Each structure stands twice: as structure tokens, then as C-alpha cells.
Amino acid sequence: MKIKAILTLIILIGVFGSTLHAQSSSAASPTMTLTVPQVATISVSNFTMGTSANPGNFASSLQGTVTLNYSVRVPQSGSPNAKITVQSAATTLTATGSASSTAPTVGSFQYSASASGTGVTATTSWQNLSGTTAGTLVSFAAGTKINAGTATANFKVADSLTYDADNYTLPLTFTISSQ
Amino acid sequence: MKRHLLTTLAALLIFSPRWAAGQARPQVLMPQVGIMAASGPGVSISTSGGVTFPAGNPTDQPVTPASASLIATVSISNPKNGNIWNLSLRSASSSFTGTTGAPISISNVHWAATANVTSGNGSVSTTSGQYLSTSDVVVASGLEGKTSPFTVQVTFTLTVNNSWNYDVDTYLQNLVLTATAN
């Protein structure tokens, strides 16, 4: 009997001991912040409007197109005014042959655009190009997210008797904004 | 019956502090148990701050690294030589949340960890990095040494998968780091 009682004691002590075995823990909760920004990129190549017909038909117009490659991510909140615009970067065209050549004016050029996609609206009617005010080619709705978009910008200029035979260049500025 | 009574009496005596204080042989055992509880390891954890992911254009930057590593310092006072300690990591919730943007799954966050002992003579090893979840995952573990304090520094390298599907916004979520010492 004595032996059994002692065994019981030992077993109980063992259980008691294990319940008191200490475990300690501590926690930390650092904050993660993920900032997703607006995105607006655009690329465009040089393009040619074309060559006047010979013999000339002064009632015709020269027309050129260029592809705009862009990506955009527009905020959902607020009233974003995201768009692609075009503006002449010079007030006059530059003749490459003769400085005295009479060139078309910047205002005689017109532009329009075509594009597709959710939240994408193109200016499809012809608008006059300006050297002082940016004109909208494409506009984007709030929350629009486009990874690799394309839009086509169209330009035309009416031929005229007043223009001298020459090559003319006009720098254009295309701008995309996400807000 | 008599045997049962004797056993019960023995059990009651074991749990009686008075008895423990007044008896000779069991007293040797009881103070030992008391010492274990009083001198057990104490663990604390601190971090270097928060984690910031400055996501850019997903086309140019499909994976965004955190602007700085997250450093967690685990310190164990009264370490018990040979006992196991560990550090686990999880996300407090399943998604980053913003003010207007759609939630972004936390499973886009990937972590990798390196660690080294900066004080004491215990050991540390890290597990392979993986994507974050809401379940605790042991990041680092090892054995406690003899010297107090035993301190380990764990450095986390965190990245997030960037995507065009994310809405413009600032998103927040908390990590939960838990250090345990036995």
C-alpha cells in the first residue's frame, strides 16, 4: 500500500510539473501600406500627311494617321479629367526647301480620333488644330485601367493654290493625363 | 476503499502549499516546480516599423519590392538551454483594403526571411519564403541557449505582385508576428 501511494505521488507530481511548464509569447503587428498610383504613358511615331497630287487638285486634302500607344490608370474617386490631347508645338510649319515658301497655317489642320474600350471615348468629329490650346483626342472615364491601349489620331489639311511646292514639317505634342 | 482514501489524501497533500512547506521529502520536489514557473523564459518582439510597397506602372514593374526590409527582433530573457523558440508570421486579414479601390488579396505578398543570433548562444534557422496567408507560418525557429538574453534578428524581404487590375488607391493591412519561447 505504501509503495502504491508513493507511486501515486510521483505521478501526480509529474502532471503538476508539466502544467507549470512555462511558455511565453509576444506579438507585433506592423502595418503594410500598398500605394497604387495613377499611370499615364504614351508613345507615338513621326508620320507623313502625304503628297499633293500632281497635277494638283486643289480641292483635295491631304490626310495622315498615326497610332498612339498608351497605358492609363485613372482614379475612381473625385472627378478625374483623364485624356489624350494634341497641340501644335509651333505656331507655323517649317519649309525644308525654302524659307520663303508659303505654308499651310496650323489652324488649317484638323484632327479627329478613333479608339475603343470600356471607359474610352474618342473625338470622332473633325476639330481645328491649335498652337495655343490642347485639343482632346480621347477621354477616359473614372476608374479606367488600360494596360496597352491603342488609339488612332487622324489629321487632314486642305490643299490650296496659295501653298508653294515644298516639304513642310510641324511638330505636334501628344499628352496623356490620368487626372 | 482504504486504498482509495489514501490515494486521494496523497493527491490533496501534493496540491497543498502548506503541506509542501511543512514536509521534508516532497518539499524537495515542490520548490523545483515553483522555480520552473518563476524562471521560465520571457519573450518580447519588436519591429523596425511598417512596410511600404510603392507600386509603379505594372508593365514596367510587375513585382514591387517593399521600400525597406522589415526587421523583427526577438529577445528571450531567462532562456532555457535546448528549449525551442519560434517566430511565426501571418496577415491579420485576407485582403489589403483601401478607401475606394477593390480589395487586393494578401496572397500577392511574398516574404523571404534571413536571421542571425545577435546575443546569447542559441540557434536560429529560417524556413523558405512563401506567399502570405492568414494562417500562422513559422518563419524562424531554433534552440534557446544558456545566456540571457537570447536575441535573434529576423530580416524580412517582402514583395507584392503588381497588376493592372488594381485600382488607384492606398491600401492597408497588418502583419502579425508572434514569437514563442518554451
**Do B33 and B117 lie in a common domain?**
no
Q: Number of folded domains in chain B?
A: 2
Mean pLDDT of chain B: 84
Residue B149 zone, left/alpha/beta (φ > 0; ψ -120 to 50; rest): beta
Q: What are phi and psi of B19, to 5 degrees?
A: -65, -40
Residues B119 and B56 both lie in one domain: yes
Quote the Cα angle for A159-A163-A169, to 5°. Answer: 85
pTM over the 0.80 mark: no
Regarding whether B26 and B8 lie in a shared domain, the answer is: yes
**Closest A-chain CA to B40:** A22
CA distance B116 to A48: 64
| CB-count exposure of residue B64 (10 Å: 0-12, 13-18, 19+) | buried
Q: Residue B142 sits in which domain range?
A: 40-181
What CATH number does residue B133 fall under? Answer: 2.60.40
Query: What is the separation of C-alpha A17 from the centre of its chain, rounded to a whole number of angstroms?
Result: 69
Give the closest-approach CA distance of A10 to chain B in angstroms: 9
| Residue B1 shares a structural domain with residue B44 | no
Check whether residue B13 and residue B94 sit in a common domain.
no
Q: Are residues B135 and B53 in the same domain?
A: yes
Beta-strand pair A168-169/A120-122: unpaired
Q: How many Å apart are CA B49 and CA B162, to the nearest integer?
A: 23
Say whether B7 and A4 touch across the interface (CB within 8 A).
Answer: yes
What are the start-end ranges of the E strands in B9-134?
A: 42-47, 51-54, 63-65, 70-77, 84-91, 95-96, 104-105, 109-119, 125-126, 130-131
ipTM: 0.78
Pairwise CB contact (< 8 Å): B33 & A13: yes
Q: Are residues B31 and B56 in the same domain?
A: no
Domain locations along chain A = 39-43+61-177
Closest Cβ opposite residue A147 in set B14, B47, B59: B59
**B125 — contact with chain A (CB < 8 Å)?**
no
pLDDT, tens digit, for every residue of B121-138?
999 999 999 999 999 999
Instruction: Please state whether A119 falls in left (phi above 0), alpha (psi between -120 and 50) or beta.
Output: left
**Are B96 and B45 contained in the same domain?**
yes
Among all chains, which residue has been given the C-alpha cell 545577435? B118
Whether B44 and B116 map to the same domain: the answer is yes
What pLDDT tens digit does each residue of chain A (179 aa) get? 454 544 444 444 444 444 445 689 999 999 999 999 999 999 999 999 887 776 566 668 899 999 999 999 999 987 778 999 999 999 999 999 999 999 999 999 999 999 999 999 999 999 999 989 999 999 999 999 999 999 999 999 998 888 999 999 999 999 999 98
CB contact under 8 A, A41 and B181: no
* Rounded average pLDDT per 10-residue block, chain B, 182 residues: 45 42 36 39 94 94 96 96 96 97 97 97 96 98 95 98 96 98 92
- Whether residue B173 sits in one domain with residue B88: yes
